[in-house]
Structure 1
Amino acid sequence: MRIFKMHTYYQQRGGEDESFAAEVALLRERGHEVLALTFHNQELDRMPPWRQGLVTLWNQEAYRRVREAVRQHRPDLVHVHNTFPLASPAVVHAAKAEGVPVVMTLRNYRLLCVNALFFREGRVCEDCLGRLPWRGVVRGCYRGSPLASGVVAAMLTTHRALGTWARGVDVYIALTEFARRKFMEGGLPAEKIVVKPNFVHPDPGAGEGRGGYALFVGRLSPEKGVRTLLQAWVRLQGKVPLKVVGDGPLAGEVRQAVKSLAGMEWLGRRNPDEVYALMRDAAFLVFPSEWYETFGRVAIEAFASGTPVLAANIGAVAEVTDHGRTGLLFRPGDPEDLASKVEWLLTHPGELARMRREARAEYEAKYTAERNYQLLMEIYGQALEAGHRRRG
């Protein structure tokens, strides 16, 4: 199969970018011809603000590049991962203009929410779900700017009117059932949305948790529940060491916490191999996110490492973590409940050991490269069938 995959890279490489690269590599390993076209948002830095706004709505150069690439390589299908902002939804129209089926992976809530998070002022916000996103403009939900938010809202509204989301895409991929339900609530055609999770490849191997510490891996930002994590460790009073991996706007608060909390260590950013080594030795991973994660890749990386997850009971990560089997769930934003769950794990070593085995089994059953490849081929088959029906 010849596959044309497109993605717009963020300013700094993140989980979405890594998932795209992993999927490209997986397909090539299985013998498929993959043309990967990437757009880099750094190009926006060289444009005046008015030009940035225009290309977010419709990037004619991206439209031209995609049509030319499709004509030259004649792929069986086009798989779009992220169009925001540089590529723009124009790339979907380019593929359709050439009669090629389109698959789109939904890695955040950008099609439904101006800031793509359903999170505002420290809480979940669904004010624009299924509605015109004018509230997000008034509140400056994108980068704190009503003007920038207006551009995003204009892009969303324009492409709803053009039918880009309803008719331009043959199959949408949501990462969890939770995310699928949200996209359905937001108006995407339910019959076009299928679920395929992320995967971890190569297999990092399972550890034994010999380090005896708790681990947090992620962006140090409010929606990730960093403040809840720190408040919980104040209550725990050094009962279990905590290692924090990551960087972000709350780095200063983490740095201050390290000075006052016994056993806490901030490691900053680490490469994937270092993170996996930390996961294998961790007693458990803490995932205190307070927004609707579309998936929670860090959780399945922990499962692959044989490490259970202590997760906030919200969004997709609550779906990924099976309470009492692969980890425990706690009330989001509640440091007392988080601390109590940590204490329970510390006083039930037999249960913790069982969860380690179950976490690894969960990875082997659902999140390996082979399982993901099977699901992806089924999805591509569905898209090809839709394309045949349309032509036929």
Structure 2
Amino acid sequence: MISFIWSPGNPLPAGTGGSENYTVGQVRELNRRGIHAQIVTVGLSADDGRDDFTGIPFLSLPTVSKVGDLDGTVVFVNEPHPVPTRNPAFLILHNPPPIREHEKAFAREGTRVLALIATSRYAAELWAAFLDVDVATINVVYPFAEPCFATQPRPDRPPGKTRVLFAGRLSPEKGVYTLLETLHIDIIDQDTDLTFTATTAGADKPQGAIIERLLGEHPGISVVAACKTPAAMAALMAGHDIVVMPSNSQYWHETFGIVSIEAQHSGCRVIASDDGGLPETDCGGVVLVTPDNAEALAWAIRTAVINGPFPPAGRHHAGTRFTVGQSVDTLLAVFAQPQAIPPATIVAQLEELVLVPSAATYPRAG
């Protein structure tokens, strides 16, 4: 059994972000292969989001300490809780290192004895610097697009129209305010052949609800309901030509950017901030722009309009990269290989060695 430990006290939400899609997709693929895997929630009983994930095994534990009773492989998702486990445990680092001091202490303490998995080379380097460890000790298992993105039929494009989609969460770090600025750039705001759409992903949070109201009042953008399944998101993306990811780089750095590969698999061009792990998502359809720069985003959209649709051959090539099969193959290889000894273990062994009594000295013979 492989158990993915979701953030204690939090339900697993559908259609809100990459770490959710990654976790559910891994569990689905592992079970498809006949390898038992489950999502473990803490402190919520059955009210933990499972109703939105048909066919995905869930287990709810009353307290995080009960994780130590689980058999098989334990994989913490995002949060490194210092719980002794029956077998060496892993931690998948979907987010960048924290910036607040009390959160830094929690992250450093919790990662001391866990085998670490990052979602990009960029993320591995970022966490290695934060934890002061060799980057080679951090495994990389890339996210993926579910198969439905590459196979979703694309409807006919309205003549002369270019449809732009913002599919990220309604939160500042995803660059939604940069997008709002872009809507007022003169090379964009008078073009009636350009349409902009955003989803309500993240509107369940207080800041997301505020941003949803802002977008709803803007005449230049339409808001549609968040997609709760990969198939629904694939259909939405296939009905657009460009997906924008103007991720904020001032205090947040995307460790990868699963929306980018989903969009390319769906046949969309992607315009993304040249920051974090986003450059690693390029399957042939990504244009990178200066982060936090509405003017740069506007000109990139204009260039994408001139270049026209993402070619079918480009979409086919994109669909062969970052697949769920490739991701799970890598994950299983990580589980099977010897892991680097955690720094905390080395320190503990050295401390034990120091306490060993010195060998007795004997007078020389003769």
| TM-score band, normalised by shorter chain | 0.7 to 0.9
Which one has the bigger helix percentage?
A: 1
Contact 2:137 2:340 in 1 (8 A): no
Residues 48-85 of structure 1: per-residue CA shift (max 9 Å, x gap): xxxxxxxxxxx99422x123233xxxx2x3222133xx
Aligned equivalents of 1:374, 1:183: Cα separation in 2: 23
Identify the residue that residue 179 of structure 1 maps to in structure 2: 123
Q: 2:175 aligns with which of 217, 225, 228?
A: 225
Local SS of the residue matching 2:260: helix
| Corresponding position of 2:235 | 277
In structure 1, give the amino acid aligned to 2:131. G
The CA deviation string for residues 19-63 of structure 1, in whole angstroms up to 9 with x for no partner, is: 2122112111111123542225799xxxxxxxxxxxxxxx99422
Unaligned runs of 5+ in 2: 47-60, 346-366
CA distance change for structure 1 residues 266 and 24 in 2, over 3 Å: closer, same or farther? same
User: Which of 295, 314, 322 is 1:358 aligned to?
Assistant: 314
CA gap 1:285/1:39 in 2 versus in 1, 3 angstroms? same
Which of 245, 260, 281 does residue 199 from structure 2 map onto? Answer: 245
Partner of 1:47: none
Counterpart position of 2:222: 265
- Give per-residue Cα distances to partners, 1:144-166, cap 9 Å, x unaligned: xxxxxx4x455346x2xxxx423
Partner of 1:51: none
Question: 2 CA distance for matches of 1:3 and 1:386?
Answer: 21
Partner of 1:347: 306
SS in 1 for 2:64: helix
Q: How does 1:161-200 map to 2 (within 5 A)?
A: 164-166=110-112, 168-170=113-115, 172-187=116-131, 189=133, 190-200=135-145
- CA contact under 8 A between 2:42 and 2:62: conserved in structure 1? no
CA contact (8 A) 1:62 1:90 kept: no
Contact 1:225–1:333 under 8 Å retained in 2 = yes
Q: Which residue of 1 aligns with 2:323?
A: 368
Pair 327,359 (structure 1): closer, same or farther in 2 beyond 3 Å:
farther
- Give the aligned residue type for 2:331: L
Query: Quick one: which of 93, 101, 115 aligns to 1:106?
Result: 93
Instruction: Give the letter aligned to residue 201 of structure 1.
Output: E
* Residue 334 (str. 1) matches residue 334 (str. 2): no
- Kindly state the Cα deviation for residue 386 of structure 1 after the two structures are TM-superposed: 7.0
Match of 1:310 in 2: 271
| Matched-pair identity in % | 22
Hey, what does 2:74 align to over in structure 1?
78
For residues 26 and 178 of structure 2, the distance between their equivalents in structure 1, rounded to whole angstroms, comes to 33
Where 1:181 maps in the other structure, the secondary structure is helix
Query: CA offsets per residue over residues 370-392 of structure 1, 9 Å max, x none?
Result: 211211121111257979xx9xx
* Matching of residue 89 in structure 1 with residue 81 in structure 2: yes
Alpha carbons of 1:102 and 1:305: their partners in 2 closer, same or farther (altered >3 Å)?
A: same
Q: Is the Cα–Cα contact under 8 Å of residues 106 and 173 in structure 1 kept in the other structure?
A: yes
Cα distance change on mapping 1:216 and 1:36 into 2, 3 Å: closer
Structure 2 SS opposite 1:203: helix
TM-score by length of structure 2 reads 0.74
Instruction: Name 2:348's counterpart in structure 1.
Output: none
The RMSD of aligned alpha carbons is 2.9
Residue deviations 1:298-320 (CA, integer Å, cap 9, x gap): 11111221212111111112331
Q: CA deviation at 1:267?
A: 1.3
Query: How many Å separate the matches in 1 of 2:132 and 2:313?
Result: 38
Match of 1:6 in 2: 5
1:27 is matched by which residue type in structure 2? L
Aligned residues, how many?
304
Give the Cα–Cα distance (whole angstroms) in 2 for the partners of residues 360 and 69 of structure 1: 41
Q: Distance in 1 between matches of 2:338 and 2:74?
A: 10
For 2:217 and 2:227, the matched residues in 1 are separated by: 20
Aligned partner of residue 29 in structure 2, secondary structure: helix
Structure 1 residues 19 and 379: alpha-carbon distance in aligned structure 2, compared to 1, 3 A threshold: same
CA distance in 2, matches of 1:60, 1:191: 36
Q: CA deviation at 1:177?
A: 1.0
2:148–2:234 CA contact under 8 A, matched in 1: no
Q: How does 1:103-182 map to 2 (within 5 A)?
A: 103-110=90-97, 112-114=98-100, 133=101, 150=102, 152=103, 155-156=106-107, 159=109, 164-166=110-112, 168-170=113-115, 172-182=116-126
Paired residue secondary structure (2:111): helix
Cα displacement string for residues 325-364 of structure 1 (whole angstroms, at most 9, x for unaligned residues):
3121111111111111111111222xx433x532442231
Query: Compared with structure 1, are the counterparts of its residues 335 and 315 closer, same or farther at alpha carbon in structure 2 (3 Å cutoff)?
Result: same
Is 2:72 aligned against 1:32?
no
Aligned twin of 2:282: 321
Structure 1: where are the runs of 5+ without partners? Answer: 44-58, 115-132, 134-149
Which residues of 2 match residues 209-224 of structure 1 at below 5 A? 210=157, 212-224=162-174
Inter-partner Cα distance in structure 1 for 2:255 and 2:305: 30
